[in-house]
Structure 1
């Protein structure tokens, strides 16, 4: 079996994309965000200095951690962001 990549060169027309104006973008296949979706949105702001992370041992319900893992490779960052939002919301 040959493990070499099929394509050695990107097929993206970078020059065309770099010169494209906002008006040239076709959004016809992108649904608009509904007011209820917008109401559920959260804003994530980075702190000015990112605190150093500390590894911890944490017991989390199996179904919860499996759901986060199913969200992608950055599931630990997502958990951290949710905990940070909760912390900032509940600080006096």
Structure 2
């Protein structure tokens, strides 16, 4: 049996919120998220929990992309840097099909 949702429709003025710049948003009463909280967080994609692990994949990339990340990565390693950049992009943008 599926749960019925009892929440009411949002009364937030989303048009006003979306028009605000990041600097205009007051975050003073919101504490920073700690590393410990992030370690306990459950990552979800499409509402389903995703394991915090890595998977090996074969991926063809343009040569200039690999060269760019090799140049920027330093001691971190270019594959780890590519992973970090992709993760940051996903957190910042909703990818649509």
TM-score of the aligned structures, taking structure 2 as reference length: 0.40
Comparing both chains, which one has the higher relative contact order based on Cα–Cα distances under 8 Å and sequence gaps of 6 or more?
1
- Is the radius of gyration larger for structure 1 or structure 2? 1
Structure (1 or 2) with the greater strand fraction: 2
